[in-house]
Every structure is written in C-alpha cells, then in structure tokens.
Amino acid sequence: MADEKLAIQKTLAHEGGFVDNKNDSGGQTKYGITQADLPGVTVKDITPEQAVAYYAEHYWKPLYSEINDQLLGEKIFDMGVLFGVGTAVKLLQISLSDEIQVVSDGAFGPNTLAAVNEHGDINRYRTTLINHCMNVVNNNPQDAEFVRGWVNRINS
C-alpha cells in the first residue's frame, strides 16, 4: 500500500526550498507552497512541518493509501502537487484508457483505484504526463523554461 509519508518527502525534495522566479505564475514558493496556499504565513518562513501538514491535508487523497504500487502512488501525488490534483488524476485515467473503461473525470474514486491496482503502469502514466507538458507549453509558450524540470520530475 502507498505510504503518504514517503510520497510527501519525495515531493518536498522535488519542490526544494524558497524560490522566487518572476516567470512563475504562482509567485514565490517554498516547498512548492505559495502565499495563497498558507495565508497568514510568510512564504520564506514555511517550515518543513507546515509543508508536510499542508500536503497531507490538501493533496494526499484518502484512497491513495490503497494503491498497491508505492511508486505509482508517489507519482500521482507528486503530479497533483505539480499540475493540480484533478489534472494528475485525469491524466492517470487517460493512461488507463487502453486497458479499461474509466471516465477521465479527475476524481480518484473506487473505480479509478481498482483500475490503477489492476492495470496501472508508471511508464504509460509518465508518457501521458509528458504529452500534457507539451500541450501546456503549446498553449502557454512562456512556460517553456519549466519543461525540462517538469520532464525530469516526471521521470524521477
């Protein structure tokens, strides 16, 4: 079963410390968390403990703990942080579409869980995620500087 603590630690490593990239539409971040995410806390002052609590509450969905493949559970979680939970789940569902009929609605419910546990394939999911990155850049050329980092993270 997928372990939330392991997933969060990997995501924190990916997100790193304080970042203030003028081209990032999310603004300043620390551990990938923005000012809007934690109002009342200065972004630079976010502690690892606050980041862990934030991700556990907002990104680790209850059924993720029932995913049999730890690496796939971590990837779904991490991509939820990177692209948004709904988008990460929808892309997962798309990656499963050749194997089973799953509605790509972005909701991780019992049907998606069953499909992931029976047919989930991290390589197919990675391919779908990379295609998504290319679509993002095609629609938002200003985000091109982030593609290499996104793809490296997807493949990690």
Q: What is the pLDDT of residues 10-40, one digit of tens each?
A: 999 999 889 998 888 778 899 999 888 988 8
Q: How many CB atoms lie within 10 A of CB 148?
A: 10
Give the model's confidence band at 103: pLDDT under 50 very low, under 70 low, under 90 confident, else very high: confident
CATH number at residue 46: 1.20.141.10
Q: What is the pLDDT of residues 49-72, one digit of tens each?
A: 999 999 999 999 999 999 999 999
Q: Which domain holds residue 60?
A: 4-155
Radius of gyration of the chain (CA): 15
The CB-based long-range contact list for 132-136 (8 Å cut-off, 24+ gap) reads 132/83, 132/87, 132/91
Beta sheet of 29-30, edge-to-edge order: 18-19, 29-30, 33-34
Q: Domain tally for the chain?
A: 1
Residue 100 has pLDDT above 80, yes or no: no
Give the pTM: 0.91
